[in-house]
Amino acid sequence: MSLEGRDIISIRDFTKAELERMLSAADLMEPLAKRGSEILKGKIMATLFFEPSTRTRLSFESAMNRLGGSSIGFAEPGGTSVQKGENLTDTIKVVENYADVLVVRHPLEGASRLAGEVANVPVINAGSGSEEHPTQAILDIYTMKREFGSIDGLKVAMVGDLRYGRTVHSLAYALSLYKNTKLFLISPELLRMRREVLEDIGKNIEVEEGRDLKKILPEVDVIYMTRIQKERFADPAEYESVKGSYRLTRADLKEAKEGAIVMHPLPRVDEVDYDVDSTVHARYFKQVWYGLLVRMGLLALVLGAV
């Protein structure tokens, strides 16, 4: 199976076999990440970031560099006229002449999909509004696979902002490809996962919604904490009413399963106490390393190098 030339816009565009292919490509990348490689020599990646980012952009750039390729691009927080669909189209039509692959992050939902339709080179969605963040979900799944050996049968709690957080949407779709996983969706009422996503994943896997993290802590293998997405609230008073809803502490984790792991897409604000970092459960920094391998693998796949 080849993923050469494919766009990576939504997890829903891929089968389980294709997702597994991406995970095995990441495995192949570990030795290359350590010693460097030239498999993408001469290839250029353009990063078009219309919204702030640190790790996603640096992770893609590092991935490209470690494979011998190079990168160009921009990171303009809160870009102005570029938020209009027409101008995005023009930007893409220009930049595709300069690069072999485009990595796009945009505050508007649908922007990456549009970019993919316009561009003649592969487009990778690095976050589209509160809709999706597929490469984060692939690295989340990869983290679970590396830590537990397999995804099947895992019980995963997603905690925090399930309404505006895009990583949780992509991750929920990805987990729903693994039939006997169970998902606990823990959030304040206001930040419950969107109904359409819930309906889709509910067809394939067991899903339980709730508000109390402590109650389900002894049951789950993965505690996936997320930041309340302050910048995506239309009403600041709404944000004030839910901020600080969850704060996972070292003491809380005494109730967790022995082998349970804590994950987080980062950046963290106050939802995971710093004293969790030194527990046996913390995996959020390890997740960053796995993310590098996944992005190396994805670039190599869409550019036809593996």
Contacting residues toward ligand NCD, per CB under 6 A: 55-56, 127, 133, 136, 166-167, 227, 265-266
263's tokens: 């994950």
Examine the residue annotation and report whether 281 is marked as an active-site residue of this protein. Answer: no
Beta strands in 142-290 (DSSP E): 155-159, 182-186, 206-210, 222-225, 261-263
140's tokens: 């989340």
265's tokens: 């897409």
Examine the residue annotation and report whether 133 is marked as an active-site residue of this protein. Answer: yes
The distance between the two most distant Cα atoms of the chain, rounded to a whole number of Å, is: 55
- Rounded CA-CA distance 283/271 in Å is 15
Nearer to ligand NCD, 49 or 178 (CB): 49
CB neighbour list of residue 66: distance below 8 Å, 6 or more residues apart? 32, 33, 36, 37, 292, 296
Examine the residue annotation and report whether 56 is marked as an active-site residue of this protein. Answer: yes
By residue count, the chain amounts to 306
**Cβ 265 to ligand NCD, closest distance in Å?**
4
Examine the residue annotation and report whether 194 is marked as an active-site residue of this protein. Answer: no
Of 21, 47, 56, 264, the active-site residue reads 56
Beta strands in the chain (DSSP E): 44-49, 70-75, 101-106, 123-128, 155-159, 182-186, 206-210, 222-225, 261-263
Nearer to ligand NCD, 11 or 306 (CB): 11
**Cβ 41 to ligand NCD, closest distance in Å?**
28
Burial of 36 (0-12, 13-18, 19+ CB in 10 A): exposed
**Cβ 54 to ligand NCD, closest distance in Å?**
8
295's tokens: 């992005």
Examine the residue annotation and report whether 257 is marked as an active-site residue of this protein. Answer: no
**Cβ 88 to ligand NCD, closest distance in Å?**
18
Of 133, 166, 169, 227, the active-site residue reads 133
Q: What is the DSSP letter of 99?
A: -
**Cβ 17 to ligand NCD, closest distance in Å?**
26
Of 6, 55, 232, 286, the active-site residue reads 55
Nearer to ligand NCD, 227 or 283 (CB): 227
Of 43, 105, 163, 166, the active-site residue reads 105
Residues with active-site annotation: 55-56, 84, 105, 133
